[in-house]
Amino acid sequence: MRHVDFTPLNRSTVGFDRLFSMLDTLAQPENGQTYPPYNIERIDENAYRITMAVAGFGEDDITIEARPNVLKIAAAQTPEEGSEKHEMLHRGIASRAFERRFQLADYVEVKGARLKNGLLHIDLAREVPEAMKPRKIEIAKAGDDSAKQIEAKATN
């Protein structure tokens, strides 16, 4: 894929910095990062869940950090005591450290996380402020005197 340079547009626009940086990051490959595997599901209109397969990691090994518009999940496994005495004949369960970042939309907040059966579940909710929600405007009927007066009377 060809890289697009948004620099000339950045000079002539105000407030679109984040949009251009998001487009720039979408154009770049994710360096083939596929570990750990994860699912993103929509629970209802304003609720989402990220489920990540983290077999071999405990609650103390995983850190979850939420910043504005970014969710970062990182893990590093602490070596078990006495593990240096054993010789590993086959390693099929990956235990390498990882860091995965997710771009969150505006007004999406992390509600909680739990680890069950090797799966990390992170619950997200979109909470749009009341001022940002659409509202219905009533239209006054012609000849209806109950409509509010906009202009004030001139004082003498």
Name the pLDDT band for 122 (thresholds 50, 70, 90): very high
Domain carrying residue 16: 1-32
The DSSP letter of residue 88 is P
- Whether 63 and 118 share a structural domain: yes
Residues 4 and 59 in one domain: no
Query: What percentage of the chain carries pLDDT values higher than 90?
Result: 22
Residue 63 shares a structural domain with residue 103: yes
Q: 9, 20 in Cβ contact below 8 A?
A: yes
Task: Say whether pLDDT at 4 is over 80.
Answer: no
Are 98 and 27 found together in one domain?
no
Domain annotation covers residue 149: no
Please report, as a single letter, which amino acid is at residue 54: V
Residue 142, in any domain of the structure:
no
Q: Is residue 14 part of a domain?
A: yes
Structure tokens of 15?
Answer: 């407030």
Instruction: Give residue-wise pLDDT tens across range 37-51.
Output: 999 999 888 899 999
Q: How many domains does the chain have?
A: 2
Mean pLDDT of the chain: 78
Shared-domain flag, residues 19 and 46: no
Residue 131 has pLDDT above 70, yes or no: yes
In this model, does residue 55 exceed pLDDT 60? yes
Please tell me the predicted confidence (pLDDT) of residue 45.
Answer: 86
CB-based burial label for 57 (10 Å; 0-12, 13-18, 19+): buried
Which regions of 8-90 does DSSP assign to beta strands (E)?
Answer: 38-44, 47-53, 62-67, 70-75
Shared-domain flag, residues 16 and 37: no
Q: Are residues 3 and 28 in the same domain?
A: yes
Query: Does any domain span residue 155?
Result: no
17 shares a domain with 58: no
Q: What pLDDT, on a 0 to 100 scale, did the predictor assign at position 73?
A: 93
What is the spatial distance between Cα 77 and Cα 9, in angstroms, rounded to a whole number?
Answer: 44
Q: What is the pLDDT of residue 6?
A: 58
Query: What CATH number has the domain bearing residue 54?
Result: 2.60.40.790
Q: Same structural domain for residues 51 and 74?
A: yes
Please state, for a pLDDT cut of 70, what percent of the chain lies above it: 66
| pLDDT at 104 > cutoff 80 | yes
